[in-house]
Amino acid sequence: MAQGAPPVVRLAATVVKADGDRLEVTDANGKPVSLKVPGDIRIMSVATAEPEEIKPGSFVGSAARPGPDGKLTALEVHVFPPNMRGTGEGHRPWGSDPSASMTNGTVGDLVVSNGRTMTLKYGESGTQTIVVPPDVPVVTIDRGDRTLLVPGAHIVAFYTRGEDGTMTATRLTVGKDGTVPPM
pLDDT at 109: 85
Residues 151 and 108 both lie in one domain: no
pLDDT at 1: 46
pLDDT at 96: 75
Number of domains in the chain: 2
pLDDT tens for the chain, 183 residues long, are 456 667 778 899 999 999 999 999 999 999 999 999 999 999 999 999 988 889 999 999 999 999 888 899 999 999 999 999 998 999 999 877 889 999 999 999 888 877 789 999 999 999 999 999 999 999 999 999 999 999 999 999 999 999 999 999 999 999 998 999 887
Residues 170 and 153 both lie in one domain: yes
b/e burial code for range 103-127 (CB count within 10 A of at least 16 → b): bbbbbeeeeeeebbbbbbbbeeeee
Domain presence at residue 181? no
Does the global pTM surpass 0.85? no
Domain presence at residue 63? yes
Residues 94 and 34 both lie in one domain: no
Residues 13 and 51 both lie in one domain: no
Domain presence at residue 183? no
pLDDT at 43: 95
Q: Which domain holds residue 148?
A: 9-45+144-174
Domain presence at residue 3? no
Domain presence at residue 165? yes
E strand spans, 49-137: 59-66, 72-79, 90-93, 101-112, 116-122, 126-132
Domain presence at residue 107? yes
pLDDT at 113: 75
Residue type, 150: V
Residues 129 and 165 both lie in one domain: no
